[in-house]
Structures are given as C-alpha cells and as structure tokens.
Amino acid sequence: SIFVFYMLLLGIIFFYYKRNIRRQMIMLLLSLVFINTLISPKLLKNEVVFFDLNEGESILINSKSEECLALIDTGTGENDEITNYFKRNGIKRLDYLILTHNHNDHNGEARKIINEINVNNIVVNAYDNSEFANLNKTRKVKSNDIINCGKIEMLVLNPNSNKNENDNSIVLYGCYYNMKIFLSGDISKRVELDIMKKYPYLEIDILKVSHHGSNGATSKEFLEA
C-alpha cells in the first residue's frame, strides 16, 4: 500500500500537466487511502502484549492464526494510551473487551475504547456493578465459565462468590501457542490459594502476578505449586 501510494504520488507530479491522467491518479490515490482506513491489519501478528502503563494494567491477545483479538483491562486511560496504540496499529475492532473488575486502573479507558473501537463482546465479573455491566454486549462470568475467542478457549477461575472488588477479579487461564497463561487480575493470596486447591493440577508457563506485585498477593505457596 505504501509503495503504491508513493508511485501514484509521483505519477501525479509527473503527469501534472495532463489533466485527465492526473485526475485519474488522484481518484486512485483517494480510493487507496479510503480503502486502507476501512481495512484493519489487526490479524497480521501473533502476540500477547503487556502494556507498560503509568498506572494500572492492560493486556492484548492478538492472534492471526487463532482469529482472536482480546483486550484484558485498559489501565486508567491517562493519555489515552491504549486507544492511541490501536490507532497507530490500525486496530478498529475488538472481539473481546474483558474488564476484570471495577477499579479505575483496570477499566478507566474502557468508555473511550467502546466509543472509538468496534467492540463485539464485553465481559465483566458476575458481581460487577459498573456502567459496563448492563450494556447489551456485556456478559457476566464467574468460576468455571468458558470464554471462546476465535479458537482460543479461556477458562474463568474466579470469582465464585461476592467478595471485595479486588477478590471479585476475573481470573483467566488459557493456552496460547502451547504456552499456558494465567492472568490473575487483583486477587489476594487467599483467593490464589483457593484457586490452587480447586484446580490443583494447573500448569502455568506465564504468570501475570496479581495486584501489580502487591505484598497482599502471589504467595510463596502459590508460586511453588
């Protein structure tokens, strides 16, 4: 597209005094620009992106082969970091926006993303009472539910009862390119140990530690297990 764009631009300059040819090239150039604004290159990569945000966390699963583009949490929305990332990378659609719990450092940019990106499905925990809990695209999940994003299956390990906001976090476990990934939201040590007892044979290749590495999360027993 970039090559054709510059060739047309050079053609317009070269045929500047030949009005008919110049007009046709201008129309082709405008058509190329218009088409490129409609086509999203989101499925060109296979990656899991952990955003380095000033505050909060956000994780993007982008898979061409598995036909899945899912964003887990958004950070606070300071400087519109996630939305700007989408614009820079031509991402205009999300299969899933998963908001683990109702804290601003996890859903602060969600409203802007929903307004500017075509979000097909929104997922919140079963006890979420935020503005996103009652949208017509929203699904509430709890322990043992399954989220199918394209060919990627994510098992919900938490919540299983109404606790505090952090301990109500959606915890996800899924396999991506034979890597088993555990995304733990902001759950405490107590909930981690409950999950360990309920699912004693989990194998984890990549652990996103809970609550930004807080002292109240990610116990030694959990890591050893």
Largest CA distance in the chain: 78
Helix%, strand%, coil% for the chain, nearest 5: 35, 25, 40
C-alpha distance across the termini of the chain, in Å: 50
Q: What is the pLDDT along the chain (225 residues), one digit of tens a residue?
A: 788 888 888 888 888 888 888 888 888 888 888 877 666 554 457 899 999 999 999 999 998 877 899 999 999 999 999 999 999 888 889 999 999 999 999 999 999 999 999 999 999 999 999 999 999 999 999 999 999 999 899 999 999 999 999 999 999 999 988 899 999 999 999 999 999 999 988 999 999 999 999 999 999 999 988
DSSP character string of 31-73: HHHHHHHH---GGG-EEEEE---SSS--EEEEETTTTEEEEE-
Q: Are 184 and 171 in contact (CB under 8 A)?
A: yes
> Cα dihedral angle (37, 97, 45, 3), rounded to 10 degrees?
10
Strand partners, 119: 94
